[in-house]
Amino acid sequence: MDAKLGGILAQLAYTGNGVINPDLAIPTGWSENISAGFGYGDSTSGAYRVFINDITKEVCIAFKGSTTLNDWVSDLTSSHP
């Protein structure tokens, strides 16, 4: 994986599980593992998405940064020691 591909997959973390961004498609050869529990639950405000390349056997866990005050509060209060 190069920096450009990593950047594309990271950008995709800013939409919810299984949500297709019409301006930014999942790159050819990659798929998303949309199993429950990957940080989004029932909303699109969650933390990460998981992408898999079955050909190269690479996995990318793309984390969404905090973009709202509610994200920051959740980040700080939901942390486990």
- 76: burial class by Cβ within 10 Å (0-12, 13-18, 19+)? exposed
The pLDDT of residue 37: 45
Question: Could you tell me how many residues make up the chain?
Answer: 81
The pLDDT of residue 78: 66
The pLDDT of residue 22: 66
Domain ranges of the chain: 3-77
- The pair of three-digit structure tokens given for residue 1, joined into one six-digit string: 């994986």
